[in-house]
């Protein structure tokens, strides 16, 4: 069964460093998402991406964040200068259509020291 994959599963970084989180969505899906979950809290939407551009973003997704689909399979989230409060689980999700179910990857647990 097709699934969303994410790498790395865990990442530890120093405050101020750049990190890139990688995702491979399900192959025939067209809509891609990033969500984050701070430890013990609910899942929050960051950004959605369709047709090689951002379709919507939340207030969390400020200038330090960017997304890219560098090739036909990968979808990345870059955090330019990490802060302590960026420590969270980051989930990638994909769906084949706006009215369809979003399937989540296993997440990347980011720890900023």
Closest separation between CB of residue 28 and other proteins, Å? 17
Nearest to 105 by CA among 18, 23, 16: 23
Tokens at 44, concatenated:
């929050």
* Cβ-contact 14, 113 below 8 angstroms: yes
For the segment 42-61, give every residue that binds other proteins (CB under 8 A).
Answer: 42-45, 48, 55-56, 58
**75 touches other proteins (CB under 8 A):** no
For the chain, the helix, strand and coil percentages under 3-state DSSP, each to the nearest 5: 5, 50, 50
Nearer to other proteins by Cβ, of 44 and 76: the residue is 44
Q: Which of 23, 26, 33, 88 binds other proteins (CB under 8 A)?
A: 33
Closest separation between CB of residue 110 and other proteins, Å? 12
**111 touches other proteins (CB under 8 A):** no
Q: First-to-last CA distance in the chain?
A: 37
Instruction: Name the maximum alpha-carbon separation found in the chain.
Output: 39
Which positions lie near other proteins, rule CB under 8 A?
31, 33, 35, 41-45, 48, 55-56, 58, 89, 91, 93, 95, 98-99, 101-107, 109
């Amino acid at each position: 069964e097709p699934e969303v994959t994410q790498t790395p599963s865990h990442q530890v970084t120093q405050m101020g460093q750049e990190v890139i989180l990688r995702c491979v969505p399900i192959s025939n899906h067209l809509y891609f998402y990033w969500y984050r979950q701070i430890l013990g809290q609910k899942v929050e939407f960051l950004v959605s991406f369709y047709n090689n551009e951002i379709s919507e973003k939340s207030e969390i997704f400020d200038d330090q964040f960017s997304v890219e689909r560098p090739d036909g399979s990968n979808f990345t989230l870059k955090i330019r200068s990490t802060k302590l409060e960026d420590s969270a689980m980051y989930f990638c999700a994909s769906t084949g259509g706006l009215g369809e179910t979003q399937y989540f990857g296993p997440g990347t647990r980011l720890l900023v020291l």
